[in-house]
Structure 1
Amino acid sequence: MEHLRLFLILSVLAAACPVLKACPSNCHCHGGDLQHVICYNAGLTKLPKIAEQTRLLNLQKNLFPVLAPNSFKEMKGLVSLHMQHCQIREVANGAFRGLKKLVYLYLSNNDISVIGAGAFDELTELTYLYMDHNKILEIPKGLLSPLLNLFIFQMNNNKVREVKAGTFTGAKDLRWLYLSNNDITTMHPGSLDEVENLAIFHIDGNQLSTYPLAAVSKLRVVEDFKMSKNPIKVIPDYAFQSFGRYMESLALDQMNLEKFSEKAFVGVTTLKKLNIEGNRLSQLPANAPYSTLQNLTLANNPWHCTCQLAALRRWMDGSRSHPDGICAGPGQYRGQQIRDTGAFRNCKQPAKKSRKGDRH
């Protein structure tokens, strides 16, 4: 009789707490205590019920067109949420409310065009946010304000047209920002003021027609800066000065770039890799940072091989790197490689600066 009573009690408890006992149907669980719930391509159209102790939930390749407010409020223990390829169109205000332990959020490869300014409310621990390959037209002001610990923001391959002042308010610890392959025509002054500690900044493949000097002038420690495939014709004086002593990699290829102003590289003291391939450059400024360069890509430019480029040739002669670069002129040197041509034979070496005390 006692055994029967115990069996009935356990049965009632099991019926009352199915979430804590069973893995959601069409999903599989591992990690002990249902900590990892994998519902990859499971045919789901509603969010599954999961145990509160679940740490990782993988919902990739299911169908969730709208993420409504409080969609995840019962999932308080989640640290990692994967929702790639879920045909999400809209993320409402407060959609992720309650996920105060969430560190990783993957929303890549969806159809998101509508995102509420309060969509990320309460995500104070979120560190990695992936929203690439969507249809987002703008980053709403205040969207990132709750994300005090955001480190990586992946926003490439969307349809963002401009970056406004205040866009990144609150995300003061952001270090890696990817805005590649959007439709950005304007970066407003002050738009990056709150994220002055960016180390990686990629804004290649956009529609910027002038270098956004006012927007980037507050950046302090950018190491990897990529602006390729923007229709910018001139790189102005002091373009990289605010972060030049940290910048190690600079990509300015495929831009139809015509000119570097004479003081464009002022303050650039640690550059190791420079890509200026596929432009309309004929010269480089006297202060180009040859002394630190290890890798230079400069093919497909109409180089004018006069003594103005002699410093480039000297760098090639003293470097392990011998990049392709063909002279477009003067006429007798047309078609010759910069590294081989005799165009610089009679160019004078620059006089070495005398040190104090050298006078006799």
Structure 2
Amino acid sequence: MEHLRILFLLTVLAVACHSLKACPANCHCHGGELQHVICYSAGLTKIPKVSEQTRLLNLQKNSFPVLAPNSFKEMKGLVSLHMQYCGIKEVAAGAFRGLKRLVYLYLSNNDISVISTGAFDELPELTYLYMDYNKIIEVPKGLLSALTNLFILQLNNNKVRELKVGTFAGAKDLRWLYLSNNELTTLQPGSLDEVENLAIFHLDGNQLSTYPLAAVSKLRVVEDFKISRNPIKVIPDYAFQSFGRYMESLSMEQMGIEKFSEKAFVGVTTLKNLNIEGNKLSQLPANIPFSTLQNLTLANNPWHCSCQLAALRRWIDGSRSRPDATCAGPAQYRGQQLRDTGAFRGCKQPVKKSKKGERL
């Protein structure tokens, strides 16, 4: 009898081992030990079982409305997990528990509205997290606290309304943050303090009505900053000072900006690309860093072609791009291209000074 029981157990174990080594139904697999398992649009409604040796699991275009706790705990070798277009609505705490080698997690193009604190616990190696094109309203405090190696976070095209203090706690190595096309009205002061090393920061297409100076003032090394398509009328003094030594690209088109304060560009010394198209600007502040600019987009603003814009005209005269910009005033120059108008003929050249302050 004991002999039969042992034989039965051995048979069960053999079947289990074989099932883990077999490619899941309707999927196809590559590499020894099922290293790459591709279940793209396979009609799955349950997470398939795969080998511990599996490195990549592609589950795109299946149906998994809820990612329950421990959904992947046996997949200890997984490095890349693709779950785009899976109809996911909820991600429970501990959903990815056990994936200690996971580097890439793709959750884009789902219906995620509920994402529990603890959803990303035990993911010490996660570096790339894609959650764009979902329905996320809030990023719970502590959600990212275990992701000490996170480098890229894509949260664009969601419904996030506010960034609170502690939102990014723990994600100290985050460098690329995409929050475009959300419903942000507020960035609380201190909400970005934990991610002061951001290099790419995209906030375009939100509902910010005032420039979030207090929130961004701790950022130090932003190179690419997009805040386009936010209804901000005035850009304040020192808007970019904290990261101005690094900023190379600034996008501020289609915002309805009426004015840059005179000290808005203080500290900006490396800017190469500036887009201010489609605003309500008639003038520019004196400290625009023309000496470093390579590309400047100006169209669809009501420019007042007086000597106050003479520095802009000199930059255009020396530029290969010759950007499009039309004078709205004074009346005699209305409709003329800023690059061609005679409005600046009587303007004086700036007087250069030597290091000792002597006129040259």
For residue 219 of structure 1, report the CA deviation from its aligned partner: 0.3
Structure 1 stretches of 4+ with a deviation exceeding 2 A read 8-14, 18-21, 357-360
Distance 2:149 2:223 in 1: 20
Amino acid across the alignment from 2:145: S
Q: Per the alignment, in what secondary structure is the counterpart of residue 308 of structure 2?
A: helix
Q: Give distance in 1, aligned partners of 2:356 and 2:29.
A: 73
Q: Is 1:83 matched up with 2:83?
A: yes
Could you tell me how far apart the structure 2 residues matched to 1:124 and 1:30 are?
A: 26
Q: Which runs of 5+ in 1 are unaligned?
A: 1-7
CA–CA distance in structure 1, aligned partners of residues 126 and 279 of structure 2:
40
Find the aligned partners of 1:106 and 1:358 in 2 and give their Cα distance: 61
* Matched residue, 1:316: 316
Separation in structure 2 between the aligned mates of residue 16 and residue 193 of structure 1, nearest angstrom: 49
> What do the CA deviations read for 1:258-277 (whole angstroms, capped 9, x no partner)?
00000000000000000000
- Number of aligned residue pairs: give it: 353
1 CA distance for matches of 2:159 and 2:206?
10
Secondary structure in structure 1 of the residue aligned to 2:194: helix
Shift in CA distance, 66/280, structure 1 to aligned 2, threshold 3 Å: same
Q: Which residue of 2 aligns with 1:4?
A: none
| Structure-1 separation of matches of 2:159 and 2:334 | 42
Per the alignment, residue 138 of structure 1 pairs with 138
TM-score (structure 2 length as normaliser): 0.96
Matched residue SS, 2:243? coil
The 1-side partners of 2:75 and 2:12 are apart by: 24
Q: Which residue of 1 aligns with 2:188?
A: 188
CA offset at residue 10 of structure 1? 9.7
Q: Counterparts of 1:1-360 in structure 2 under 5 Å?
A: 14-356=14-356
SS at match of 1:225: strand
Structure 1's 330 and 189: CA in aligned 2 closer, same or farther, altered over 3 A? same
- Deviations 1:100-154, CA, capped at 9 Å, x for gaps: 1000000000000000011000011000000000000000000000000000000
Residue 14 of structure 1 contacts residue 21 of structure 1 at CA under 8 Å; is this kept in 2?
A: no
For 1:107 and 1:267, the matched residues in 2 are separated by 38
> Structure 2 stretches of 5 or more lacking a match?
1-7
SS in 2 for 1:129: strand
Tell me by how many angstroms 1:356 deviates: 1.8
Give per-residue Cα distances to partners, 1:203-239, cap 9 Å, x unaligned.
0000000000000000000000000000000000000
Q: Distance in 2 between matches of 1:199 and 1:257?
A: 24
Identity of aligned residues (%): 83
Distance 2:353 2:259 in 1: 28
**Distance between the aligned counterparts of 2:357 and 2:278, measured in 1?**
47
CA distance, structure 2, for counterparts of residue 9 and residue 276 of structure 1: 72
Q: CA deviation at 1:31?
A: 2.2
Q: In 2, Cα distance between the equivalents of 1:112 and 1:104? A: 18
Question: In 2 relative to 1, CA 284–53 (structure 1 residues): closer, same or farther, beyond 3 Å?
Answer: same
Shift in Å at residue 321 of structure 1?
A: 1.8
Q: Which amino acid aligns with 1:347?
A: C
- The one-letter code matched in structure 2 to 1:219 is L
> What's the CA shift for 1:13?
5.8
Partner of 2:5: none
Q: Which amino acid aligns with 2:289?
A: P
Q: Partner letter of residue 119 of structure 2?
A: A
Residue deviations 1:41-98 (CA, integer Å, cap 9, x gap): 0000000010111000000000000000111111111000000000000000111011
Check 1:267–1:139 CA distance in 2 against 1; reply closer, same or farther (3 A cut): same
Report the secondary structure of 1:242's partner residue.
helix
| Matched-pair contact (CA < 8 Å) for 1:271–1:293 | yes
Cα RMSD (Å) of the superposition? 1.6
Are the aligned partners of 1:202 and 1:227 in contact in 2 as well (CA < 8 Å)?
yes
Shift of 1:358: 5.0
Q: Distance in 2 between matches of 1:161 and 1:357?
A: 51
Read off the aligned partner of 2:128 and give its amino acid letter. Answer: Y
Mapped to 1, the partners of 2:107 and 2:16 lie a distance apart of 33
Spell out, residue by residue over 1:168-218, the C-alpha distance to the aligned partner (whole angstroms, 9 max, x if none).
Answer: 000000000000000000000000000000000000000000000000000
